[in-house]
Amino acid sequence: MTPEIISLTPLQALGIPIALVAAVFLAVGTQFQHRGVGKVEAALGSGAKAGLNIRQLRALITRPSWVLGTALLGVAVLMQLVSIGIAPLTVVQPLGAVALVITAIVNSRVSRIPLDRITIRAILMCVGGIALFVVVAAMVADSPPVRGRELIIVLVLLGVVLAFWAIAFALVRKKASPIFYILGAGVLFGFVVTLAKVVIARVQTLLATGFEWETSDLLTILCLMGLAAAGLLGTYFVQTAHSTGPPDLVVAGLTVIDPLVAVSVGVVVLGEARDVPLYASIPMVVGALVAIWGVILLARHHPQVRN
């Protein structure tokens, strides 16, 4: 029996424009954060490769541009939470790739460094791959209830991911390339989004059925703790990425790697596409591979990447 194509409800479809507006805030906020990190490095020295030190991190909160950028990113995050709360994560999370185009254009104007053909091709690959992924996902994705078993699997995976990136950072921080921090931030924030989706779903259930304690609520609390840990390490990686590469490369990690990780967890663990037919899964995989290769090209050939 061939699985039926699933269509979004009007409320779920509302998550799409909300996610697009969030992408705009993400793009502008990232540009301001990048400017703030640049000014701090100019005053206190570069934290490239080895990571920003405590003195530089403290100095960031005194830079108006960085604070403004952080506030805009906060608004973007809130809007993203609303979008994933009402629509399948598989559909709305990848839409953040729109921020990559906006950031690339704005950064090129601000830095007065034109984008070369390879960089433009890489950006088009990122956006085109994600667009293909979203179009197909919008037709087949669903939001099934999350059970305790899925929560445990996600938490175990997060523990492994946190340990891997923490150890990797300790071992290679002095010679890490920009792509290291971009990949790290993207993977970590992918889990942040997934855990946020789980917590939001549990809160919605509590509001609908009454606030009665269940065993799964302990797992929800662990999800919040894991979300905070991944968010903190991911945020540090993002700020260090600003010191090693251009803002559009940073956004590429957050809008391509992040959603691909989140969607993969949503599909494999949370069952958001458990009924996806084979003819739909093939273009989803192709779109994901094209987008990832676009990020790699961007990291290698962007005219502002520091060697």
Residue 133, pLDDT > 90, answer: no
- Residue 202 main-chain phi, psi, to 5 deg: -70, -40
**Mean per-residue pLDDT, 97-115:** 79
pLDDT at position 298 is 76
Separation of alpha carbons 283 and 137, rounded Å: 10
pLDDT classification of 215: cutoffs 50, 70, 90: low
Residue (of 167, 191, 180) closest to 245 by Cα position: 180
Determine the Cα–Cα distance for residues 168 and 143; give it in Å rounded to an integer.
Answer: 34
Q: Where are the domains of the chain?
A: 10-301
Most confident stretch, 19-23, 37-41, 245-249, 278-282: 19-23
Rounded to whole angstroms, the Cα distance separating 260 from 101 reads 18
pTM of the model: 0.76
Per-residue pLDDT band for 244 (boundaries 50, 70, 90) equals confident
Average pLDDT, the chain: 78
Confidence of residue 163 (pLDDT cuts 50, 70, 90): very high
